[in-house]
Amino acid sequence: MAEKNLPKIKRESNFAFVLVAMVLAPILRLMFNIKTSGKENLPEGGYILVGNHLSYLDPFSFAYSVYIHMKRVPHYLAKESIFRIPIIGKILPHVGQIPVYRGGKSNEEPLRAAKEYLKAGQVVVVFPEGTLTRDPDQWPMRGKAGAIRLAVELGLPIVPCGQWGVEKVLGNYSKKFRPNPFHVVRVKIGKPMNFEELRGKTLSAKEIADATDKVMREISKIVGELRGETPPKELWDPTKVGQSEIGNYRKQA
């Protein structure tokens, strides 16, 4: 995607986003009933909201929770292929969404846009897993370091979130869509995580990996609370079991 299609920074009360939300929010409410808890944990100003990735509906369920319940405009770091979808792809940059490229193409400009939103006191949403979880029991798997790098560079908190229930509406890598306005999807907000001890130093690969692991384990803990179960001791790592890190691994099997 050309640089000219990257979103321009606007006030948080983005008029285009408000218009889109007015159309989409009632539609989403017909698909599921979002319940959000832990709002008292939300900090003021800019922060990076991170959550587990269960379903293709996650961007919509989280967006509903962030906009309707948290009263913030979500700015997603989303895979670039979504921006090539007719109509939707044209709208996304105008409502503050940011394309992320795969396959070795530079993400310098998308990251710059994300930093500008955060510096302006806004909220950027990241799914650190980078793709839908491959864990057989749908627990969060190991994450990527992008959110940590942003948080450390800008000195901003990471707010971990867990969600559970959206997979009943549209399952993990499934095409079976089961909308139900009475089905509850729960989102739980954890306490902000700060990494001030990592600022101002050259970070080793291990320090970045350890910080990322800490974030993913906190998300897993929150998901466990929603599920009423204990999360696994080890985060699922697709590379250790020969799974691809991008795309629908089930089709590729």
> What tens digit of pLDDT does each residue of 131-150 get?
999 999 999 999 999 999 99
* Tally of domains in the chain: 1
pLDDT of residue 5: 52
**Cα separation of 74 and 123, whole Å?**
6
C-alpha radius of gyration, the chain, whole number:
17
pLDDT grade, residue 105 (50/70/90)?
Answer: low
Tokens of 53: 């990735």
Phi/psi for 211 (5° steps) reads -65, -40
pLDDT at 183 over 60: yes
> What tens digit of pLDDT does each residue of 38-71 get?
999 999 999 999 999 999 999 899 999 999 999 9
pLDDT of residue 167: 96
Most confident of 19-23, 90-94, 118-122, 211-215: 211-215
DSSP 121: T
Work out whether the CA dihedral 152, 156, 157, 160 comes out positive or negative. negative
> What tens digit of pLDDT does each residue of 208-221 get?
999 999 999 999 99
**Cα separation of 253 and 249, whole Å?**
6
Work out whether the CA dihedral 160, 166, 170, 174 comes out positive or negative. positive
Phi/psi for 232 (5° steps) reads -65, 155
Residue range of the domain that includes 214: 3-252
Q: How many CB atoms lie within 10 A of CB 115?
A: 16
Encoded amino acid at 30, one letter: L
**Cα separation of 248 and 162, whole Å?**
22
Which residue has better confidence, 110 or 240?
Answer: 240
What CATH number has the domain bearing residue 107? Answer: 3.40.1130
> What tens digit of pLDDT does each residue of 187-201 get?
999 999 999 999 888
pLDDT of residue 10: 44
As beta bridge partners, residue 51 has 161
Tokens of 100: 């992320």
Encoded amino acid at 101, one letter: Y
Tokens of 228: 């009423």
Tokens of 14: 């983005």
pLDDT grade, residue 4 (50/70/90)?
Answer: very low
Mean pLDDT of 220-238: 97
The overall average pLDDT reported for the chain is: 88
pLDDT of residue 193: 98
pTM attached to this predicted model: 0.88
